[in-house]
Structure 1
């Protein structure tokens, strides 16, 4: 009995070292309020690099020069507030930050060191940022953005890139946005319902369109009404580019998705630049454009069967067997009265995709057919109506089956015990369908094979100036603008007080585009410098080779380093991981960090 009691005591007793640790922590906790607070602050190296880029672009100075403001009335200059907003997107926590709580995002961070002026983070509030957004809208958001973005290559001594990639995306919003009659005729953006790329048809939205160069630098951004069509945006953008670049626009190639191809836009394209040449464009030829020109040209190319081998068309081949090979044919055609070139491409991937598609389509057809043949109809008109619905539903289907309507007659005897005077039997007739063998339409299968196996690109550039392979490679880089959109949707600087005013939404989106521009600069500089090294550095995740890294990968590496400041004076730089400590000098070179501009 006593033995069991002793065992229980041992089980319930706390280890001595645990008791000491808790006691020590409690003692420290009681003394913390009596001690002088530590006045040291940190600066994530990633934030310092982004701040240096903004400083080299004279971001604060340009904004202070362009916006209307009175230094006597502003606690902090609009340039400083704008720089804080851009930097908040890069705070390592990567949390969504409300404008009214930006001061919390910078807790423990030496914000004064990052913006070059003494800043008390606790004094930052939504009224300050709201006033900034109002003045940005007043000046013109798109104009303000390009006044800085178009100086990037000169500022950082980067070679010019003469390819422009254009696209749009949607941004869903919460809340009601009732437009007044005065807004209907104004230039204020109108949040409204539209084709949501986030699949949120229940929410109002705005659109934004951007143009990046071939390296992913966002040169132009426009915030648009929620129901703006891509064809309207492309018309607006081409006109804007012609106005901004003038004669120099003739040196650029405008690349966009198939929505750019309308008669109105082609007319604008063939107005050309002042030299008289049309705007250089490349786009995917949609199925229903130009009298189904895409299908006609693919059919001709397959009939001629005289393809030119292009090999593997990747700008940076991985060396894996999974990369497709391409073949092409080129034709000159008049499109809406304008001479253009159609490049038909075929790739060696059709059969596996076709087989998967045919299996799916056959499965759908068999399911519907089983439902039809399992039904019994009490009258012939009902059966024929069901047959008409089935035929209508599968009118464009690749598969078909011969259906026969058969009737079945049954004698239905009266229920119960026979009476002295027997009741007559009831003759009941039902109708049902009998299906023959399921057959595939070979002509439709061949058309589908060609559609999966091939596609067409339309361009105003002659083959002598840009051959089929070059056209394809340049079009495939269209994903650079889509990558920028994914970055744009990661952060969210939002507060309901600001979302109630469309003008501030437009300015807020422009701030986010500035953050995307910083991503583009970081990524481009790092990739260019890696290419100049004698061998690829092994400083990626888990010390893997750092080959053409995205900006997010570079930021993750930079976040391993922190600068410690005391009273605004740099004291030391530390690495969160010891194995990374010797990589700081290399990272400073790769991101072109210039301490002189901080």
Structure 2
């Protein structure tokens, strides 16, 4: 009788990942849309699960190194019967990426996300919109007038502080309960945030709202645009967003801030309501001051105060060395300078006449000046009240909503702070141990599909985290009773 052979396989935490993929029937959903042919040993759904396992294995591998990653893993249990590591080669995975791209990754992902949210029983109160970029390696030359619809890998505003590299942009929308991404869109590297958000509001928000049944759309300051706000209002979509401090009206409210009118909200926050109709949309602004943010910003504010006061002092000294043709011009220049000063106050200003002679050198005792020029002199002192106001405005920001009655100050703040879920998802995707520590594939189409795989990985991770927290909370409650 032949002795049985034994081997050791490492399951680690991938058993949880594979179990969640099986519970959500991720492979079956993909295979229903993109069925495999007779020549495929691994279906497209199984290949997607393999890439998710690799992404959540926290050992970054390029596609051609997948067999090495799975060499000591029980692939038949994790992915499917008769699936061996050598079957998960770069040809199989590349073919899966091509098939995903041809199916339209955004629409396909939205269908998957709706299934996941339904199976987990999540009822989102808000969805959170944000955008980030990933730099890519390699050359992906494409004509600027390319009309194939494929994203272009070009330089743009780099959130990775690598402006010299080409990049691709990923736009995500996450629900607020578990942080599950419910929408994803791959965009060209030079995409403008406001234009991307406007397109979502115009083309996709209606279907997302119907599927997720959430009340609020939450975004950062890039969402606060007059055209976008009007689109949201026409669709009867409630929003919560941060007001960009570049708006003159926002600057004015912060400048005129009266700390005595702020109500304490707890946890270091104080706020007051303001009315606004920016963009022709009736809304409420919540002006907030955070003590924690003020402490973080203090060093930066002191640096700016020193820089601005030095610059204003240089302007004053330059004015005092300047000569004018008449006294009126000198006083007019002084008035213009005073209007531009924020930190300095000018005192004891005088204007005196300076004689100008025709020849060089010291004029003779009886020589008369050819004309007179006028020069200013005086003192520049620091305006302590303005400095104190600048310090008091640190940590101040404004939130806006078109829900005129339904949100208290604390509820509005809490709704906006849930934006951290999508930002945390981006930090997860950018982790050096994740699938995309460096993105390099041969075709932009495959990179677009890879962004969907990354988002699916985040979806499974968030679903697992939600399930574990729910079970843990239930167990604690049961033990307590």
How does the TM-score come out when normalised to structure 1?
0.65
How far off is 1:451 after superposition?
3.1
1:200 aligned residue (142, 162, 173): 162
Q: Tell me, which stretches of 5 or more residues in structure 1 are unaligned?
A: 1-35, 273-277, 313-323, 374-378, 382-387, 405-433, 538-598
Q: Does 1:224 align with 2:166?
A: no
Q: Does 1:283 align with 2:283?
A: no
1:532 corresponds to: 474
2:52 corresponds to: 86
Rounded to whole Å, the distance in 2 between the matches of 1:85 and 1:144 is 17
Rounded to whole Å, the distance in 2 between the matches of 1:41 and 1:328 is 60
Q: Tell me, which stretches of 5 or more residues in structure 2 are unaligned?
A: 324-332, 351-376
- CA gap 1:452/1:47 in 2 versus in 1, 3 angstroms: same
Rounded to whole Å, the distance in 2 between the matches of 1:352 and 1:223 is 37
2:355 corresponds to: none
Q: Name the Cα RMSD after superposition.
A: 3.7
How does the TM-score come out when normalised to structure 2?
0.80
Which structure's CA Rg is the greater one?
Answer: 1
**Aligned to 1:102, what secondary structure does the other structure show?**
helix
Rounded to whole Å, the distance in 2 between the matches of 1:79 and 1:527 is 28
Q: How many residues align?
A: 436
**Aligned to 2:258, what secondary structure does the other structure show?**
helix
1:523 corresponds to: 465
How far off is 1:159 after superposition?
3.7
1:302 aligned residue (258, 268, 272): 258
- CA gap 1:494/1:347 in 2 versus in 1, 3 angstroms: closer
Rounded to whole Å, the distance in 2 between the matches of 1:495 and 1:469 is 41
Deviates more, 1:355-364 or 1:58-67: 355-364
- CA gap 1:399/1:171 in 2 versus in 1, 3 angstroms: farther
Rounded to whole Å, the distance in 2 between the matches of 1:199 and 1:536 is 49
**Aligned to 1:219, what secondary structure does the other structure show?**
strand
**Aligned to 1:175, what secondary structure does the other structure show?**
coil
Rounded to whole Å, the distance in 2 between the matches of 1:372 and 1:38 is 86
**Aligned to 2:174, what secondary structure does the other structure show?**
strand
2:40 aligned residue (74, 78, 87): 74
- CA gap 1:449/1:117 in 2 versus in 1, 3 angstroms: same
| Aligned pairs for 1:316-331 within 5 A | 324=268, 326-331=269-274
- Report Cα offsets for 1:182-203 as digits up to 9, x if no partner: x622321111111000000000
How far off is 1:167 after superposition?
0.3
User: Does the 8 Å CA contact 1:189/1:502 hold for their aligned counterparts?
Assistant: yes
How far off is 1:248 after superposition?
6.6
User: Does the 8 Å CA contact 1:250/1:279 hold for their aligned counterparts?
Assistant: no
- CA gap 1:358/1:80 in 2 versus in 1, 3 angstroms: closer
User: Does the 8 Å CA contact 2:123/2:214 hold for their aligned counterparts?
Assistant: no
User: Does the 8 Å CA contact 1:345/1:454 hold for their aligned counterparts?
Assistant: yes
User: Does the 8 Å CA contact 1:170/1:206 hold for their aligned counterparts?
Assistant: yes
2:73 aligned residue (90, 101, 109): 109
How far off is 1:99 after superposition?
0.3
Rounded to whole Å, the distance in 2 between the matches of 1:352 and 1:242 is 38
- CA gap 1:244/1:359 in 2 versus in 1, 3 angstroms: closer
2:430 corresponds to: 489
Rounded to whole Å, the distance in 1 between the matches of 2:250 and 2:306 is 29
- CA gap 1:49/1:358 in 2 versus in 1, 3 angstroms: closer
How far off is 1:350 after superposition?
7.9
Rounded to whole Å, the distance in 1 between the matches of 2:436 and 2:413 is 38
**Aligned to 2:129, what secondary structure does the other structure show?**
strand
1:293 corresponds to: 249
User: Does the 8 Å CA contact 1:282/1:458 hold for their aligned counterparts?
Assistant: yes
| Aligned pairs for 1:423-462 within 5 A | 439-440=382-383, 442-443=385-386, 445-446=388-389, 448-462=390-404
1:165 corresponds to: 128
**Aligned to 2:283, what secondary structure does the other structure show?**
strand
1:146 aligned residue (84, 102, 110): 110
